[in-house]
Amino acid sequence: MSSGTTRDERPPERPKVTTRSIREMKARGERIVSVTAYDYPTARLADEAGVDLILVGDSLGMVVLGYESTIPVTMAEMSHHLRAVMRAAPRALVVVDLPFASFQAGPEDAVRNSARLVKRGAEAVKLEGGRRVLPQIQAILAADIPVLGHLGLTPQSVHAFGGYRVQARGAEAADALLEDARALEREGVFAIVLEGIPRELGAEVSRALTIPTIGIGAGAECDGQVLVLHDLIGLSFGRPAKFVRRYAEVGDAIRGAVTAFRDDVRAGRYPSPAETYAAAPDPPPAAKNPAAPASKTPEKSACES
């Protein structure tokens, strides 16, 4: 089966983004732009739009696989979506999430699973947690795999948090998060995602570190921002979080387009003659003679005309 379209030309290439260039952006005061992508078209479109970092987030479990949380997401699922993203050959840095239960048991699991993802094209891995997962982070870094940290409202801890709640609102928890961020920086992570924390804390952590912070619901003073692409384009269901800004309503566009197709098919308006193929023309007289040698140039197939 064909998709009915051919692959088009790509815009001129820009330099490949690396973990090093992401770090340098903070030094230059340039804000880092990141979105999630879970497949070939979204990775390609995000890359063509010029984002700096594509995150193959385990949010894919909720956003495109329909799970209730990110907890059920498997290594096989992350790997499958990562490979689709890599086929888009993004200029953006591609970071993939280590899903729940792929690293919590210890450094050995963490390195083995990170290596599996790097073999499939990932340029860095992200894992949730602070000082308590430092042994895993040390081991992954020792295997020469760059790490993106993730602190605050870390969704894999939803049961421990008792729901998706803003984290570190009080002074003690804020101090602990700042200490986690410092520990991750000392260890050598190249950047840290800060999710679902007060903007004052997002600003304080960003000032305290030399590595970039990438915020999602952590205020405007982070060194960059990340959003789930499907939230940003209006292709997700349910009430969006407070920090989500919708730049398009793609869900409405899809529903409208499919409804129009349904109506055209039911009314016999689709397909029109211009959208159908003609039968093959009569063969030339020579081809009717069975003794004549077969032509070396095949007839153009009806599907091409």
Residue type, 238: G
Closer residue to ligand KIV (CB): 92 or 228: 228
Strand partners, 54: 35, 94
Among residue numbers 167 through 196, which ones bind ligand KIV (CB under 6 A)? 193, 195
Nearest to 146 by CA among 200, 100, 96, 109: 96
CB of residue 6 to ligand KIV, shortest distance in Å: 31
How far is residue 59's CA from residue 113's CA, in Å, rounded to a whole number?
Answer: 18
Find the binding residues for ligand KIV in span 62-81 (CB under 6 A). none
Contacts to ligand KIV from residues 2-41, by CB under 6 A: 36
Distance in Å, CB of 112 to ligand KIV, minimum? 21
- Closer residue to ligand KIV (CB): 86 or 227: 227
Phi, psi of 47, deg, nearest 5: -65, -45
Smallest distance, Å, CB 228 to ligand KIV? 5
Q: With respect to ligand KIV, which residue has the nearer C-beta, 125 or 193?
A: 193
Q: Are 47 and 91 in contact (CB under 8 A)?
A: yes
Query: How many residues of this chain interact with ligand KIV, rule: CB under 6 A?
Result: 11
Element (H, E) at 158: helix 158-161
236 binds ligand KIV (CB under 6 A): no
> What's the residue count for the chain?
305
Stretch that binds ligand KIV, among 50-58, 83-91, 134-142, 272-280 (CB under 6 A): 50-58
Q: How far is the CB of 60 from ligand KIV (least distance, A)?
A: 7
Contact flag: residue 97 with ligand KIV (CB under 6 A): yes
Lookup result for tokens 């003679």: 289
Question: What is d(CA 16, CA 212) in angstroms, rounded to the nearest whole number?
Answer: 18
Q: In angstroms, what is the minimal distance from the CB of 150 to ligand KIV? A: 6
Question: Quick check: 136 binds ligand KIV (CB under 6 A)?
Answer: no
Phi, psi of 195 (to 5 degrees): -120, 135
Task: Please give the full DSSP string across 200-254, using - where no structure is assigned.
Answer: HHHHHHHHH-SS-EEEESS-TTSSEEEE-HHHHTT---SPPPTT------HHHHH
User: What is the number of other CB atoms lying within 10 angstroms of the CB of residue 274?
Assistant: 5
Per the CB < 8 A criterion, the answer to whether 241 and 59 are in contact is no
Asked if residue 28 lies in contact with residue 21, where contact means CB atoms within 8 angstroms, the answer is: no
**Beta bridge partners of residue 96, listed in sequence order:** 56, 125
Does 216 sit near ligand KIV (CB under 6 A)?
yes
55, 88, 147, 232: which one binds ligand KIV (CB under 6 A)? 55
Q: How far is the CB of 63 from ligand KIV (least distance, A)?
A: 8
* Catalytic residue IDs: 195
* 177, 184, 218, 226: which one binds ligand KIV (CB under 6 A): 226
Binding footprint of ligand KIV on the chain (CB under 6 A): 36, 55, 57-59, 97, 193, 195, 216, 226, 228
